Structure 1
Amino acid sequence: MSRLRLTMACWDYDRVAALKSGEVAIDGVDLNFLAQPVEETFFRMLRHHEFDIAEMSLSSYVVSLARGDSPFIAVPVFPSRFFRHSCIFVSAASGIETPADLAGRRIGVPEYQMTAPVWIRGILADEYGVAPDAMEYWTGGEEQPGREEKLRLELPERFRLRAIGAEQTLASMLADGEIDALFTARTPSTFHTRPHHVRRLFPDYQAVEQDYYRRAGIFPIMHTVVIRREVYLANRWLAQSLYKALQLAQRKAYEDLRQTAALKTMLPWLPAHVEQAESVMGRDWWPYGFAANRHVLETFLRYHHEQGLSPAGLRPEDLFAPEALESFLI
């Protein structure tokens, strides 16, 4: 039987390094691995379906799935996770001191449907009582002008969105006080170049995020991995083979992080970081698989619906190929 020749696009994470190098293989597949920035992968996959397998924004994937004709199917692997309390930036001119002060303000977001702002808005609602429709969202490029939503959105009227000017950037507008806050995945350049004008809402974000995890048990999922649906339907075995390979690659990354004979990562206190993560989150602090992430996925789908991005009724199991809902690996 001939092997499939497939192309996979994904960022150059430690947890996929063994797949990229060929140390771990996908059973039955000759893989062409393209290490690309996430924005490029998302744009090319969502607009043109260029790759057979790709890392994908969880929110963009759910938007496509909710429309009933998604060209993708996911496996329960999550190469990007991120606590996002650190990603709420405020203008010094805004007078914002607490989460409650965000109500009624002008909030910059590169894209309304981005996964990071979905989590931020949901956490603000659940933890601090700031409803998603209590703010006005200004969308556009963070560092370069001209960014647009990758997917066309049809939101309820209560959500107020406006595009920034064709030559404007959110990073500069924040520092200039033209917007009051920014919900984003990337630290704006003006946080470093104009520190007296831009600051974090939660300066001690690590403590806030660890407290959130202890109470909520949620390590927010940012991205999943999808297969083009036509490739999956012609090769149903691929979902489990891909899931297995990504699990094995992640195990190799865990082993490297726990290696103390010689540090593989340029962090001088790496063992302390690992020990701290384990003390708060357990040894598998970055879990893959369906059962271990059901609660996180249920919360995200609730946020997604509450923010006008998808209808009610989507279940976590609706997101994934049924062949990958369980794993035979121990």
Structure 2
Amino acid sequence: MDDRLTIRIALGKHEHVAALKDGRVRSPRLTLEFVEFDPLPGAFRHMVRGGDLDVSEMALTTHLLAHDFGKPITALPIPLWRRLHHSNLVCLAASGLRGPKDLEGRRVGVRAFSQTTGVWIRGILATQYGVDLDSITWVTMEDAHVAEYVDPPGCERAPAGSRLRDLLHAGDLVAIMGERDVDPAAVRPVIPDAEAAAKAWSAETGIFPVNHVVSVRNDLLDRYPWIADELAKMFEEARALCPQTGVAALPYGLAPNAAAMDLLFDFAHRQRLTPKRYTLREIFPLSEQVAAGSMS
């Protein structure tokens, strides 16, 4: 008889979680029942709107909003997806934009104002390039995953059925951001030498942006307090089976990612996503209990 607890979980198609999905990493206490979402952000929305997932990869800004609106989920400091964002803000190749300051007074598109990539890019525009974010009209494709959140002034919704790329090519938008895989056809980064600029910014600040963490239902944590630690150990074991290159080589846990996540919380507050500036301990209350000895 199998006495392991079965939990429903949704994760992206990352190499560093592949060993969880294919069964190479197993737990004597847990059985993971995987639920696939394509695209993955559907899992975030499903989780925060009361769906039947027990555990989900979660956009960090979405979790921040979920916490702000009292959703019964808790974040674990296990960054599953991250990237440098400077090259993700693009304009037409023939655009007259000379750099980020030229965005002021113009219209810029993003999938959702609360999208974590957009929060990172806007924060970088403001702090590194001195862009007045309030001078820009932010054109969004959809609402936030957290239904109660209302976009701040300065945002407007694009016509139903429209796409970021189509609006850019039609001239309705001067730039777009938040596309996970930027198709280079007919576009270029708004930030000059974007990849080099991103690496220089990361080296100077010591920050590699975090986009996704892991969220767990509170009632599950209440009934089975050991779950957070068990999950953390499983994620660590799966990551150890992945080639340690690139993002997969970056550590899990709160301490090594604190500066990046703290900066995102600051950006979110300054951009009026949250009414207060949250602390790491408020969002990751179990960080000291998770996988003692491997995460801190």
- TM-score normalised by structure 1 residue count: 0.82
Write the deviation string for residues 85-110 of structure 1: whole angstroms up to 9, x where unpaired. Answer: 11001135652111111111101011
Judged with a 3 Å threshold, the aligned counterparts in structure 2 of structure 1 residues 27 and 74 are, in CA distance, closer, same or farther, namely farther
1:1-330 correspondence to structure 2 within 5 Å:
2-37=3-38, 38-67=40-69, 69-92=70-93, 94-140=95-141, 147-151=142-146, 152-156=148-152, 159-187=153-181, 191-192=184-185, 195=186, 198-202=187-191, 204-253=193-242, 256-257=243-244, 274=245, 285-322=249-286, 324=289, 327-329=292-294
For these two proteins, the number of residue pairs brought into alignment is: 291
- Contact kept in structure 2, 1:93 and 1:180, CA below 8 Å: no
The 3-state SS of whatever aligns with 1:245 is helix
After alignment, is 131-140 or 294-303 more displaced? 131-140
- Contact kept in structure 2, 1:8 and 1:32, CA below 8 Å: yes
Structure with the largest fraction of helix:
1
Distance in 1 (CA, whole Å) between partners of 2:206 and 2:103 is 25
- Contact kept in structure 1, 2:136 and 2:154, CA below 8 Å: yes
Distance in 1 (CA, whole Å) between partners of 2:270 and 2:240 is 35
Unaligned runs of 5+ in 2: none
The 3-state SS of whatever aligns with 1:80 is strand
Amino acid at match of 1:59: T
Q: Could you tell me how far 1:118 is from its partner in structure 2?
A: 0.2
Amino acid at match of 1:96: L
Could you say which residue in structure 2 is the equivalent of 1:271?
none
The 3-state SS of whatever aligns with 1:222 is strand
Distance in 2 (CA, whole Å) between partners of 1:325 and 1:314 is 20
Q: Could you tell me how far 1:325 is from its partner in structure 2?
A: 5.0
Q: Could you tell me how far 1:327 is from its partner in structure 2?
A: 2.5
Q: Could you tell me how far 1:295 is from its partner in structure 2?
A: 0.9
- Contact kept in structure 2, 1:9 and 1:41, CA below 8 Å: yes
Write the deviation string for residues 155-191 of structure 1: whole angstroms up to 9, x where unpaired. Answer: 55xx3111111232211110121111112133455x4
Amino acid at match of 1:179: L
Q: Could you tell me how far 1:20 is from its partner in structure 2?
A: 1.1
Q: Could you tell me how far 1:210 is from its partner in structure 2?
A: 1.1
Amino acid at match of 2:150: E
Distance in 2 (CA, whole Å) between partners of 1:66 and 1:184 is 23
Identical pairs, percent: 30
Distance in 1 (CA, whole Å) between partners of 2:6 and 2:180 is 34
Distance in 2 (CA, whole Å) between partners of 1:104 and 1:199 is 20
- Contact kept in structure 2, 1:232 and 1:239, CA below 8 Å: yes
Q: Could you tell me how far 1:81 is from its partner in structure 2?
A: 0.4
Amino acid at match of 1:172: D
